[in-house]
Structure 1
Amino acid sequence: MQTTLENATFNASLRPITVAPGNRTATVRFVPAPTSKYESVRHQIDVRVSAVTPSVTIHSATRSAQFNDTVVVHGHVSANNTSLAAVPVQVTIDETRIGTVRTNSTGEFTVRKRFPASIPNGTRTITVAVSQMNTSVRQTTHEQSLHVDPTPTQLTLTTTQQNQTVVTVSGRLTTTTGTALPDRPVALSVGDSASVTVRTDEDGRINATLSLPTGLDSSSLPFVSTQLTVTGQYAASGTNLQSITQTATLTYTPPPSQSLRHTGYAGLAVLVLSGAVVAWRRRAATPDALNSDSSATTNSDSAITADVLTDLSPSAILDRARTAQTDGRTTAAVRLSYVALRHEYVDTFDLNPALTHWELYRTLDTELDPSAHEFLYELTAAYERATYTERPEPLPDSDIETILTRLEDQID
């Protein structure tokens, strides 16, 4: 809008930014004041619009960034030493668009954006582009380098055995500063089994159910727990996040061996049918037999009578079991371990010392908590194999150590 001078003349200049270059028609209109006696009038003239190449200047920009940092780019657009207002400016880092704004009345612009994880670490390029098509302002760009630093991550894992075949795995993937990483793939595996890939939720959390590897309950002592490694892996390829692998230990508790239960009760039936075995049983339960690694010649059930090591306390018998383990006499260590626990229970619950080992087990069904009762069952079964199997297979030293450690915690 221009106002005429005293001599009714005026001078006006027009810088058409949004008009396409070429021959155009300009309209000049006289707009009188509401109280004027003059009428409105307009006049059209032919003009030639030429395109200009603007100058883009970056006054300041972020030089280095990590994931979730605020990236700021501030600059100015001008042409022929004149600031260009309302010009659209697009800022990208490599191929990723960071933001699009228009210059203000002084030709300046500012873009602020949280740095995304999708831009890989390393040296990248910030590009500021004047991107208006079919206008008198030509497209032009200005570039500046940006160093992207890798962002450390952390992965937590928690494992819970649900039953004998299934384990649940939960956890969370974040940066080391605690920023959640949603919709990220995490590969989970148990032991050497094939991995299962899950994606984090909006809070970076995972929750998955995995099948346990088969063949885990083949231990000669089923109550002996197995340590399994659960692995979680986040592969951050194509991002500025760091990959991470985390492990958690799962203590796998296998089910009771049904075959051993059948063996135990079958042995009891043999005892009922064979009175002659009782005499041999008493011989096998003597202190010399218990300290020996010689094998028995029958599969009969056997009683540990009151006269077996009655002069020793349960802890003293346990010391003998530990000595047998140290000497490599694993069969004797199993026998003595059972006798120590048996004496402990006979004294504690005032039981009949003449009970057979399976009678003792059934008698304590309501006296012991499930864990202690299961331990008694497995130790009884191991004792039976060690005493009445013709050639008992020696237990691994680690299994013997597990037995003795638990007994040491249980027997004063």
Structure 2
Amino acid sequence: MRIVLGVGGGIAAYKVASLLRLFTEAGHNVTVIPTEASTRFVGTATWEALSGNPVSNSVFDDVHQVNHVRLGHEADLIVIAPATADLLAKAATGQAGDLLTNTLLMARGPVLFAPAMHTEMWQHAATRANVETLRSRGAAVLEPASGRLTGADSGPGRLPEPEAIFNAAMALVQGQSDFQLPLAGRTVTISAGGTREPLDPVRFLGNRSSGKQGVALAVAARNAGATVRLLAAHMDVAPPAGVEVVPVETALQLREAALAAAADSDVVIMSAAVADFRPAAVSDTKIKKRDDRDDPVITLVRNPDILHELVELRNSAAPGGRQQLIVGFAAETGDSDGDVLAHARAKLQRKGCDLLVVNHVGTDKVFGQDTNSVVILARSGSEPQEASGTKAEVSAAIIGRISGELNSVSPRA
């Protein structure tokens, strides 16, 4: 596929190098057209090296090929990233002052804009009108992500992650009507990994969680356009790029981080394996084994129920406040009192969360594995949903279900 990648003059231009690599590694032939302003952030040598094609932003280069006409006619797809406020305005008003805006006027295939700018610029009436004009003409304009901007402030205006733009572009070319990123503009907090409760400076009570499922959820939410905050307990895998990482170790630290993060989150997914108990006392020195002493007795105390506390906090919010979706995870084993789903349904009732993702765990199941099989239970009483495959595939199903819940017109019970 022949793709024209237009690069606007914003600091987010550096992220577009990763988007270009995604396109080329997928086998597409990409011609990069940077604006003059964008070359102050990323030079043309970078675009030529990564694309394998010559790069220009002038209508007077290679005039014999009539590039200002040819590129738009031949392109199967045009992607503009970052689409600055200035570039959106020029595209909406049909200006043709350089090679990129000429190419946009000549485009006959799908066009995708990925905006990036300061929050006030994005929310300004002029920018919103330009976006609506472009959409009314058939162009696809993504919603920017929310999060930390160039300075100290945060808000909507971040360029979506390259993987998210790539996915939206491929969906647009395939004619999907729902190419818009389902979690664009949403903030999703995800806990991952296993907590560790210290006994002394060298020992702890822990669990077998690797963090793989939580990291896969963070990737899926990021690729769906969300601003993702990952509360990372002990994990055997590295956190993904493009997400905010908050390191935690104990259940109490996770509780503090989760309550703080929930304040501005549209979705909270508690996939971490949280210790139910912790030692009542932590020794300042290593507990030594000596022949002249009795075996130590470790007294455990109950850790707070973070999931239930998050639900109570959400439910106590003022009427008319933001509706927050809370998703719990249940790592269950069957016993004489019931099977896995029986225990999970009882847990869903106790916790009060909106969705509960249920794992049947064991020594050789789920923890540390690359595949998973889950059942998603809903507090609304809808039919259980099964998902299995790689943890990435399971995560995509979970994020898809969450997106559907958020976009549902029916009120939450």
TM-score, normalised relative to structure 1: 0.22
Higher relative strand content: 1
TM-score, normalised relative to structure 2: 0.22
